[in-house]
Amino acid sequence: MEIINSKWILIIGIPLVIIIVLYFLGNKSVHTEIKINATPEQIWKVLMNKDQYREWNTVLIPVKGNLNVGETVEYEFHQDSENQSIIPSKVLKIETNRLLNQGGGIPGILTYNHCYIIDQTESGSKLTIHEDYKGIGVPFWNPSPVQRAYERLCHNLKDRVESLNK
């Protein structure tokens, strides 16, 4: 009986320990920021007008839902020219002219916490896009393509805001 119990401990215990270790090691993030010659209010107006995203945004395009706290927005995510997918994202927090925070994913496997942060500077504003990833799948995933996509998104937003303010 003791041998049977020790086998079960190995069969269940080792994979469980591996999953727990992967969960705690599974942390990555992407971060990009850009200076925009505009006020936070001008940036916010463009960021929150999801109906016009297709006119300027080549990365994350809302296709369903509204940007209100507690609501889920489905985005058409164009990571690059070959990789596109639909991503549901729940709006977690909104601070007008300052923060749009959304999140989603598969709990425990790979989740994301996405933030647009707008800071006033002496000569305009700084837009930051920051996204944290957690879960057991994160150690096996490369966020570099998402980093590049968010860099494009920052430039898309900068170009749109600055062109409207000319």
Q: Where are the domains of the chain?
A: 27-164
Q: What pLDDT score was predicted for residue 27?
A: 86
Q: What pLDDT score was predicted for residue 19?
A: 64
DSSP, collapsed to helix, strand or coil, labels residue 21 as: helix
* pTM for this model (two decimals): 0.85
- Residues of the chain whose pLDDT is less than 70? 1-6, 8-11, 13-25
Is the dihedral angle over the CA atoms 122, 153, 73, 165 positive or is it negative? positive
- The correct CATH number of 27-164 out of 3.30.530.20, 1.20.1440.230, 3.30.56.10, 3.30.450.20 is 3.30.530.20
Q: What pLDDT score was predicted for residue 80?
A: 85
Q: What pLDDT score was predicted for residue 9?
A: 67
